[in-house]
Amino acid sequence: MSAMEKKLSRAEQKARRPHEILDAAFEEFVEKGYAATRVEDVGARLGVTKGTVYLYFPTKEALFEATIGHVSAPFEDVRASIDALQGSHSDRLRQLLLLGYDKLAGDRKTRELLRLQLAEGSRFPNIIDRHYGEFVAPLLDAVRALIEQGVASGEFHQGAAASMPEVVISSAIHLTIWKLIFADRNPIDEATFIEAHIDLVLNGLLARRR
């Protein structure tokens, strides 16, 4: 290996270090909560000292906030997936709801992020605002826009559900919380739950032919 290759390798390792610290910090915060998590334990997960962690994140609070930002589901891939939806408005709404379930209930980090928000949100209200703004609000906007298009086309009727996208995606959040609280003792048939929800939504939105 040449000196240049070694230098590039060290540079790449240095560039990855903050992400590795944040991944380790996430596991510590999930396992112990904010108050009980120690910066030295985060470092120990990586085999580094707490001084190395502080080199990138000067306080535990800064580390926690950076961790939340790091693990928050990025919306860029979701937006691309939404743009690629095809078919009728009903077909696209079904696909969009399945995407929401996958990103909320189906992703372990997203579920644990919700747990952290519930536990630490009063201490760090900005993490709730950030997650809502980066993921929840855009998802709601996409659902609202799709339903409005369906109403305009005559495929959906203009009812209460059409003006309240929060209701349309609420069961995805319900399933996420169920998995956090009850999954070990009272598991749920997720596939049937999701299909029942989509069936309920579409039957509530579809225009009745006369």
Q: Is the separation of the CB atoms in 138 and 75 below 8 Å?
A: yes
Return the pLDDT at 210. 52
Return the pLDDT at 130. 80
Element (H, E) at 98: helix 89-104
Q: Is the separation of the CB atoms in 21 and 56 below 8 Å?
A: yes
Counting residues of the chain whose pLDDT is more than 70, the rounded percentage is 93
Element (H, E) at 62: helix 60-71
pTM: 0.79
Extract the residue ranges of the chain whose pLDDT is less than 70. 1-8, 73-76, 209-210
Q: Which letter does DSSP use for residue 87 in this model?
A: S
Token pair in block for residue 26: 């996430």
Rounded-to-integer distance, Cα 113 and Cα 127, Å: 10
pLDDT digits (tens, 9 = 90+) for 180-203: 999 888 999 999 999 999 999 999
Q: Is the separation of the CB atoms in 160 and 154 below 8 Å?
A: no
Return the pLDDT at 75. 61
